[in-house]
């Protein structure tokens, strides 16, 4: 059944992973052809007037949304992976999680100096992962010109960590 907006395809699960949290499940967007098409079209529309050379997306849902955007906009795609998953020389960046830290990597030759980069992911929450990706791109001489998300948890203030980079989300939830 076709719905009015991408938000209509999101399944909200109360009290997961803990009481008081509403988990926003992106898989219900992916499972429906109309929801998937609507989300990809909305992300692509955010980029229609942006000049860029490559799309970067983090493992794993950034791959799901970033690759179709790269294809649709006829640009390349660069994956950002968890440490130890890429086969060639990499650059890495650590970042803090709610309970601990993590490290991500991209190939050292994935971004060329001067390339304009768009980051695409399913969700921005605290912004830690995206901030780390921005640092990786900049360490290779690239410039992040926009960040695009399917969903945003505005109550976690993730945008504040993105150094003033234009950021847009298909759906914005006011809470956490």
* H or E, element range at 37: helix 33-46
* 159 catalytic residue (yes or no): no
Find the catalytic residue in 59, 61, 161, 168. Answer: 61
- 60 within 8 A of 119, measured Cβ to Cβ: no
Buried b (16+ CB within 10 A) or exposed e, 38-72: bbbebbbebbeeeebbbbbbbeebbbbbbbbbbee
* 24 catalytic residue (yes or no): no
CA dist., res. 79 & res. 58, Å (int): 6
Residue 81: name the closest of 96, 60, 64 by CA: 60
Give me the active site residues, please.
61, 98
């Amino acid at each position: 059944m076709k719905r009015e907006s991408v938000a209509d395809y999101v399944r909200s699960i109360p009290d997961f992973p803990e009481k008081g949290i509403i988990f926003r499940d992106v898989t219900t967007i992916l499972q429906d052809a109309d929801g998937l098409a609507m989300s990809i079209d909305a992300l692509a529309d955010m980029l229609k007037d942006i000049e860029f050379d490559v799309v970067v997306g983090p493992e794993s849902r950034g791959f799901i949304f970033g690759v179709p955007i790269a294809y649709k906009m006829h640009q390349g795609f660069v994956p950002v992976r968890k440490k130890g998953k890429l086969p060639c020389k990499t650059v890495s960046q650590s970042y803090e999680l709610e309970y601990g830290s993590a490290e991500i990597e991209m190939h050292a030759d994935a971004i060329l100096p001067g390339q304009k980069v768009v980051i695409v992911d399913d969700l921005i929450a605290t912004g830690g992962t995206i901030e780390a990706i921005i640092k990786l791109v900049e360490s290779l001489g690239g410039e992040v010109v926009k960040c695009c998300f399917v969903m945003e948890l505005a109550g976690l203030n993730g945008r504040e960590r993105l150094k003033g980079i234009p950021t847009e989300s298909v759906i914005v939830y006011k809470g956490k």
